Structure 1
Amino acid sequence: MSYRKNHSPVTITVTGAGGQIGYATLFRVAAGEMLGPDTPVRLRLLEIPQGVKAAEGAAMELDDCAFDLLESVDVFDDPHQAFEGANIGMLIGSRPRTAGMERGDLLEANGAIFSTQGQAINAHAADDIKVVVVGNPANTNALICASHAPDIPAERFTALTRLDHHRALAQLALATGARVSDIEGLAIWGNHSATQYPDVFNATIAGRPAIEVLGENGKNASWIESTFIPKVAQRGAEIIDVRGGSSVASAAHGAISHIKSWVSGTNGQTTSMAVVSDGSYGVEKGLICSFPVVCENGHYEIKHSYDISEFSRKFIERSVNELKSERDAVASLGLLGNAR
């Protein structure tokens, strides 16, 4: 899927559009940062009834910006209307975990949301729909959504680990004094959760193995395990502690970057996306798991050239086991639709 100006506008449905991440996303999309300066867009904003006023306010501001590329903006509280003709779905809204809520309660609440959205996407979205789920638990919410859209290829449903990828790039650059642009091959494996595994063992810095450069900076495998991995995995919690609120602008940037790479390609460079497993690296087929990928011509491909050490394997397996546990939990709640 590629887009050009003067073609039909690209229809983008954004859920949770009245929330902070949605708000931080909308204006950049309307300005052309996601699909480029030659692609007109139509925005369809989906909110729960209580959030419609906030989404309507955002729509008013979008009008006031007079974006050249923004053909229309509409607000809905009905998913079946919101996903009509959607080419891209950015599923940002989800039920957050609140005090006293058990893990099963959270999965059940989000299961209901993403089941309905999957059904709406299946019934009304365009044939070329691409979906990124941002709302947590993102991987499992994407799995639920895909299971309720049996007529759409499962690989069209992805979850966001690009934010984690960016966090890992930044921490590796800080640790080595390198530029982020000098780093290639870094990958996030597994779940978008505290079990995720940021892998530097296949990464290079200015063409040299990242492990060598880290060693020259006094950083060994012990530092990777005790400092780097938890720093990346717990970055969201750290930001909440410091900022007093969750990541907003960086999450929006991750979602925009995810779609931009998927649509426009990565020029042979590696990024991280949570995508449906094809069995690569021993990850059970059908799980939505983060892998190193490259994107080209509107498609992504899992890179199959990574060497997985015993060190890496234990972390990947831990995160994949968490994905299986979440999958089994939502299945036991009857939240998965047609088997893939």
Structure 2
Amino acid sequence: MITTSQKKKEMSKNTMKAIQLHEFGGPEVLRYEEASTPELNLGEVLVRVHAIGINPPDWYLRDGYKALPLEWQPQVAFPAILGTDISGVIEAVADDVKDFSIGDEVYSMVRFPSGMFGDSKAYAEYVSVPAAEVALKPTGIDHVHAAGAPMSLLTAWQFMIELGHNEPNPLQPNMHEPVPLEGKTVLVNGAAGGVGHFAVQIAKLKGAHVIAVASGKHELLLRELGADEFIDYTKNYPEDIAHDIDLVIDALGGPTTGRFLRTLKRGGALFPVFPLGFSGANDAEKLGVTVSTTQVRSSGAQLTEVGRLLDDGTIRVVLDSTYPLADARKAHERAARGHIQGKIVLTVA
């Protein structure tokens, strides 16, 4: 019988296939090649990966985080492995981990934000994960759908329901505080994307009247997910139509998020998922509007909580497309074309 310690030694000698980055650049810099299988440290499990969810931080890192202020841009040790979101099967367990066993099907957002500069290493056949960041995969969905959930669903959940941690907010001096949703009118911008399609479902689940903003091709899906109203931004500016909103979740964010200030009632709130470039703080204060953001953080406990909603179909993971791990470049090219409906996922044979 192979012990955990023997298994650890055996795996540490092996190599695996991974997508590695040797320089910053476009999708063409992603290389499918041999890499060392990660070593298993105390407090960790080793996961044999079945599927990997793609998220914006993946292409931000690939590009060198050019959107960040210069002082925030990373010093990355090459070769680097991108990615955070995985679903797979536990291959080995450190001796001090008691809550998981070899053979458990699990999913995770790995080491985020601590590993956002290349230490999460999810675009690979094997990933070592802190046990506190792991949750049992919902049995009602497959690995591909499970891999599409962690970062996007945790982002929506931590913005809208429960922050789930007491870490200082690097993006603003005060802690982010979700607001009650029952009976409120919630507008979700970028509603068809990864975070957006979860935000629509969460708002509806918690009793809100939901207005979804996306291009017209996404209307049917978003109404199926719970949107009460739909605004096609290719035909109308949402800030010209929507008024007296209680909460705006701007899943796109950035410099244009300030346009939603005039849609909000006094006492309302604007939550930009990507806050960089927002310059309307003075306007928000004059209008009596709260602008707040946060940094999504890994949490096995929260993945367990939302996993129940994924398990019974209360929340759906919508897939835009899937690609084999070897074709990560094509997946990033798909992401660069935009207008993503749900999630892009890599599959591992």
Give the TM-score band, short-chain normalised: 0.3 to 0.5
Normalised to the residue count of structure 2, the TM-score between the two structures is 0.32
Q: Calculate the TM-score normalised by the size of structure 1.
A: 0.33
Structure with the bigger percentage of strand: 2
Q: Answer 1 or 2: which has greater helix percent.
A: 1
